[in-house]
Structure 1
Amino acid sequence: MKLSNLFYLGALSALVLTGCKDNDDNSEWMTDGVVFTSHIEGMVSRASGSAWSDGDKVGIYMSAGGTDFENYEYTASADGALTAAGKTLKYPEEGTADFFAYYPYQTSISNKTYAVNVSDQSDPTKIDLLYATKTGISNGEAVNFAFSHQLSQIVINVSHDETIASLNGLKIQVKGMNTQASFALADGTLTSTDSKADFDMNVNAEGTTAEAIILPTADLTGAQLVFTLADGKSFGWDLTQSDVSSFDKGTKYTYNASLSMTNGQPSADMGNATIDDWTTKPGGDINVDFGEGTQTGGEVVVLDASFANDMSGFTIDEVSNTASENIWKQDPSFGNISAKAYIDGQNHASESWLISPVIDLTSATSATLSFEHALGYAYGQGATNQTLQIKKEGEENWTQLSFTYPDEDNASAFISSGNIDLKDYAGAKVQIAFKYISTTENAATWRIKNLKVVANGNSGTVEPDPEPEPTPTGSNLLTNPGFEDWTATLPTAWDNASYNTGEIVKETTIKHGGNNSLRQTSESGTNKIQQEVAITSGKKYRISYWFLDNDTKASSRYWFAIVGSDNKTITDINDQIQQQEYSTDNAEWQNVVIQFTAPTGAAKLRYEVRTYRNIDSNEAGGYIYYDDMELTEVQ
């Protein structure tokens, strides 16, 4: 088995850094700029959910021939490209060079020591310290930076019962933990200072999710979380009550907090925690009762794995894989986890398992499992090749479970699995697994999200009909969605040359519907087609479009954006509407379908799809075809 339990998240971004002639004014080194590639290992804390956010600043150091070139500033764009803000690093003519890089950039650094301060959690991206090194780089050799997280992260998913009307205004404060440290850029050593202070976690407006970037620590003695409702009632919960005894670097700890109120006296009970890796370590459950204790015997969510931003404690077992990369991947841009063996333009034979952490049902009298999934390119083989398995802890043999498969062969059309009865496993500890099989003739795409195991709820298997498509409440909001009408050079309503870039041609032979499609040619940079459409905050919309990528010199992805009345972008749902992965070659037209709710302040949608060169080989000059674009309001 290869790459077992290894999760590769974030996007690769290839870049050529060019600029001034030398590293310093008197340098005689070659004029070729150093070639960098970069990716971020593990979960990403950014609000957009992608590897880099537009404007992120990175600092790079280079040492060669006994000379140091310190703290060169580079800026990331939303599509992953890095550009030098000033001078560009150059290769030495002879010998090798060593590099190290960090994020976020600081203009003033003394003795290669980075000052860390996590007391202000208002923007976690500004304190999420990333670090990468690369040594022994020869002239002309690419520098492949693999950035990793140097701090820890805690996330609390908060729910409440009927005794609490709303979580609006909830505050969660961290007490008794150090907030400052020094990070040695030369060797990657983090040293905390005696700086214990109280600080507020970053809580969303609804009070349902809180997060904080914190310093790694080996001892949680004295550390506490304080929950405070809008009316001032509060309760302190000691972190030592969990079986998580330390916070490790590069690790995310997720807790589930259940809030209730009885007689005005708060108390809390903490469930045991299980350990996985950043990526993710579940921290366990926090039952906060603003009353006389916790309620027992009711419905309990034992496992809640949305897969929106991380692996949720699941691991990968590559039993067999002839492809060049893992079959299962978590993708924040899609908000789900997916398996596919159509890689590098061909189907690969594989067997790959996505396995849950141990699920504790020892106190349960009944249990059900449910999830949402979409299945494409299965061609009727899904029930054979994409299956759900279960076993008790310590046993070797897995048992297959039944669930609802989609009628539609569409990797973007999600349906419910139905409630899968686990009553035969109540009283035991179990694991579930999604088993994916492919052949050189059949390699489906299987996407999964919003998985839950609920104990002591309404048991019994329910086999519902697949979820229907939302009903459109209006016509297509786009103008000229099928590219039927053209000006001299561009399709009508898509004719702003600043927005619609690269070679764009009316195609009358290769099309999905109507008389025409749009053909765009890939170049060294990013090309795009775009139209802005008015939308209303709070309403639900459906995006759909078709594209054909059957060219090894081109790739595509969508990059929609929400814009406010002030013409500034709103990033609240970027992880839903901006794609991280690039398309792969397919002889068939592919359909993209996205549903979203317009966030607060939304005034318009920037409907944008992009065309790129081959990201792996950097070859350009290929074609991507687009047709039948759609934006509709749904109910």
Structure 2
Amino acid sequence: IQATSYNASGSNFECWFVTPAFKVDEIADKTVSFKCAVYNYATAAANSNLEVYFLKLVNGKMESSKLTIDGMPTTDNTWVPLEAKLDSYAGQTGFVGFKYTSTSSTEALSYRLDDIQAGKGQGGGETPGEGTELLTNGGFENWADGYPTGWKSASTASSATLEQSTDKRSGASSVLVKGDPQSNKRLGSTEMTLKAGTYTFSAYLKAATAGSTASAALGYVPIGDDGVIGGNDYKYGDYANDLTNADWVVKSYTFTLLEQKKICLLVMNSKKPGGNLLVDDASLKTTDGGIVDGGGVDPEPDPELDPYESNIAMPTTSDSKVDFYYNCTVNEFASLKLGKNGVAGTWTSDALGTVKTKLSFYSVAWSGKNGTSLTVEIVGGGTFEGGEASKTVSLIANTGFSGSGTAFTIVPVTDTDYHEYTLIGITANSKIKFSTDKERGAVFGVKLK
């Protein structure tokens, strides 16, 4: 978030960002951490200021106490990790408030805040890395057949029993990696072929149960053509020991590949102590490497492993004048938004190019609009089984499909959101047409087989 008075109306400005209420004693180290950056410091430092306060409600009035923050940033566009110590407020319930003030709308200093956390941030100073993000389901939001999509190795690297957990750092879920005091258990990614380069693999970790501890290490293992892994092939970074359920701790592991290599990422839940482990917000970043197109990586993942990814081209542009269709993402995958408030929409795919025999997709209605219908048609040759040229379904509204943005998170996706039809007589010139009758609908995970 950013606070700035630039181009505002007036001459004196004050604005606040306030955290939710919390009990100071429930933060193990009685510390709130955050990152801060500034812009236009050299010309506007005298005109603007950011202060941090502990706020508490006393007899119906909010009392504020200024907190000492050392090391506030003075260099533009450089993120600085900071901490606010709350030891003197033990036993109290309150808020942390960030107060921005300025006396200029032309020479204004902008303050930016991110990663505001209860507890010391970044797990002792480690960072998730820089560069291009290579993981598409690092938040473990999307699941199929008992595994988070993209997190099941075809080798023996995946040895742990996994569960979807609502105890998460962000999003809607994390992954619970069951432990075993007799042997190490591993969460393994789907195999990927990486170019030569340096990579930083990171994830947020904590014990799954209050009162218990866990220990974990991040790493990878090379996968040979035969898929066999030897006991000495596993590569791990330092352990994150004595993990508790109180705070998420970020752990990072940086490794360098001297040549192109097929690997599987690993989060190992150590047998000492063998407690259940929660993992969330995993990341794989690089500034000089990347995933190889081909070379063992399937450019079109198994539809059963990525249920919300379409295997036909979804729209990359929008039409807000005639057909009222819009490009968007649903659960991080390219998708289709049809219609706008009170207006129907329609979109037709490109020619399929090859003969297909089955169509499946997910669809939902705009939040609060359960009366919307979606019609799917075969255009250019072919029908649905039974000779029908079209099918119409009633859409179920989903609160994740709302707002003014283009990125939507639809959780949960239910069985009633999924539709599958057998196709007859489809040709290479056939197309699929989607239309709503009066309102907004989303179509995603379109698969043609």
Normalised-by-shorter TM-score class: 0.3 to 0.5
TM-score, length of structure 2 as denominator length: 0.38
Larger relative contact order (CA 8 Å, sep ≥ 6): 2
